[in-house]
Structure 1
């Protein structure tokens, strides 16, 4: 879900050739246009705008939620943030983490936020965050599951408890070193070369490029090949599956901000245009994945394929799907479909975000950009990278790590208390309480 501020428009003044060369590439410069360069004021001026698309919306519902859910006997010890619609009127594009950071500085590392019909406890303290995330029986994914179950089904992206443990154990063995080495060579490098080729005309004439969009397309292609051995070719073509993926993601985002969860009523989903569109999108995605599973299963059965070594890779089809089917694990096709959908839909967006922010931050620090470029030239010497090269690209790895610290994706994690609990610091929460862990705040707090 796009609940973060995205540096969307990159203007290239010069860009290196996509073909490997045997000499050091001179420093290439490019300029960035980004909404993040506009620093919001501490207290935005009240606006007369009629927009009510904010998640703190409308004000009367927020006030009603406070009075009904908190009452006069609140002994939780958690301060209540005073959040009005105008607080985020300049940030309706989705930069939720910025007002959360502002309120942390005002109210401390934990505060209560009545947002529309929902009441969140916002956590910016690592000890409290650790308590919530590690106490699996006491806290569940709650709202995350509610708004995305229509897409992920029982996939491990939203699975809980024993199901999550079982499915994770089934998938993790496929991500071994030999698999990653093959993917870097056959998939990562080739997809990256295709992206550079597509960017070249823009680089030559200085046309602005939406790099968030390009990186998202790149990672979708990479995951399609890595997971299914299927080429979406989203960098060059439009397809119903790609459109459906983004429609479904948008629906999940909208559900997280809806004033009332009307989409829980099946009858309404059959007549509300937005829900009809979302249902059609999910049908397209699931049908495509199911067809890929059937096709791959037929090949595995025909060849009598079985995993016969720890780091098994099928040379003709090294995908995760092929590995899971060859493992002969007892799992339904629907569960396999939902697990693969979790990797496809959730995985490409997070990776695209990391690439976008890393490039953006390097562009704002020419000396760091030059150092990263020189390291790549020194280590690779004009050839394509391999999996083994990662350990030698130390500075570039640190740049990516710092990018993840500054702009984590997702910037918030949401959990729901299953029982009454006392958090570190003697803060009390009731069963059913939604908790929003601000990863962004934890990474930026001067107290950590």
Structure 2
């Protein structure tokens, strides 16, 4: 299987929005394109179950050369998948809308090429299942995982397969019914706080306010994740503190690294010379220290219980209903503080911006068809 970067773009359905509502002809055409692409990809992928080894430097060079040749010379993909070429700037700010535009034009599976970097964008459920479930070991996590490893360590996203299996087995039961029911209250409390701030601003401006919904949802998601995952109130809906700024700067750094051709951050001396890399190290230290303090506090009040006992806890009457509390108290769970920090950092960094993007996209679609 050719090693490519994979970006999963999830859409609510196959179809097209027009001024007159749902365009069934466009939807039918898109479905036919998606079906043809799905069949072709399945045939190309085959039934191999051998896990490929890591790419060598020469193999990476060949991948980049092939990507440039296919993008600028052949104008086609070696799997004959539709190709979208453009500038990175097209995807900034309104990322889902840009992907949706390509989706309507090219179908449910296409390549997105930027110079030597190429991604498959997948919104076809059959292909997504093939990649994520049926043949997941055939696919490298790619550039994004390499970039995020410096931020998330051995968290769920960049982790190797064995670490991922172990951590997933420990974390998933934490999202049990009692915990989720308690989190609904957290969602409500945080949303009410955001609503109160917006209403107050509307009163001050006589009812006329322009909102950046994605920014609002980013703050909301950050507050919710902080409370739900490690019982820390960022209160970013109403204020901005150094920790919140560090989170956003780290996200911006990850985005910048995904576009930069040469991974200069892997050259250790440059991390102390280049201003942006040095600032990243400082932000990372601030976040790591904060999470370490929260983990130390949780460990110091550890109360070991079996999974069944934790599931039956009355989460409405505990001071700390967070996922961190669950992981620390779970009997038999021997994760190191470093691993716990990586898990928390992954949920913090990867969780809140993606949630905000999804909420923004959902709000847009609801407003299109109220």
Distance in 2 of aligned mates of 1:184 and 1:234: 19
Q: Is the 8 A contact 2:217 2:359 kept in 1?
A: yes
2:273 to 271, 274, 278: 271
Question: Which has the bigger relative contact order, CA under 8 A and spacing at least 6?
Answer: 1
C-alpha distance after superposition, 1:183-233 (max 9, x if no partner): 223x22221211111011233321222222122111111111111111111
Query: How far 1:160 moved relative to its partner?
Result: 3.4
Distance in 2 of aligned mates of 1:188 and 1:196: 12
Query: How far 1:237 moved relative to its partner?
Result: 2.0
Q: Is the 8 A contact 1:111 1:123 kept in 2?
A: yes
Distance in 2 of aligned mates of 1:143 and 1:258: 11
Structure 1 segment 19-418 matched on structure 2, within 5 A: 66-67=68-69, 76-78=78-80, 81=83, 83=85, 87-88=86-87, 91=90, 93-95=92-94, 114-123=113-122, 125-134=124-133, 135-185=135-185, 187-204=186-203, 205=206, 206-300=208-302, 304-307=303-306, 309=309, 311-313=311-313, 315-328=318-331, 329-365=333-369, 368=370
Query: How far 1:132 moved relative to its partner?
Result: 2.4
Distance 1:79 1:279, change over 3 A: same
Deviant stretches of 4+, over 6 Å: 68-72, 104-108
Mean Cα deviation higher: 132-141 or 330-339: 132-141
Which ranges of structure 1 fall in alignment gaps of 5 or more residues? 5-61, 369-448
Residue aligning to 1:409: none
Distance 1:265 1:69, change over 3 A: farther
Query: How far 1:351 moved relative to its partner?
Result: 2.0
Matched residues, number: 299
Distance in 2 of aligned mates of 1:319 and 1:238: 23
Distance in 1 of aligned mates of 2:77 and 2:218: 45
Question: The residue matched to 2:309 in structure 1 has which SS?
Answer: coil
Distance in 2 of aligned mates of 1:360 and 1:69: 32
Q: Is the 8 A contact 2:148 2:254 kept in 1?
A: yes
Q: Is the 8 A contact 1:114 1:120 kept in 2?
A: yes
Query: How far 1:354 moved relative to its partner?
Result: 2.7
C-alpha distance after superposition, 1:256-282 (max 9, x if no partner): 111222222222222111111111111
Distance in 2 of aligned mates of 1:343 and 1:111: 28
Distance in 2 of aligned mates of 1:104 and 1:191: 34
Which ranges of structure 2 fall in alignment gaps of 5 or more residues? 1-7, 10-63
Q: Is the 8 A contact 2:71 2:113 kept in 1?
A: no
Distance 1:297 1:76, change over 3 A: same
TM-score, normalising length: structure 1: 0.59
Distance in 2 of aligned mates of 1:359 and 1:69: 35
Distance in 1 of aligned mates of 2:105 and 2:364: 29
Distance in 1 of aligned mates of 2:363 and 2:107: 32
Distance in 2 of aligned mates of 1:89 and 1:318: 41
Distance 1:332 1:200, change over 3 A: same
Distance in 2 of aligned mates of 1:116 and 1:75: 13
Mean Cα deviation higher: 289-298 or 105-114: 105-114
Residue aligning to 2:59: none
Distance 1:180 1:263, change over 3 A: same
TM-score, normalising length: structure 2: 0.71
Higher CA-based Rg: 1
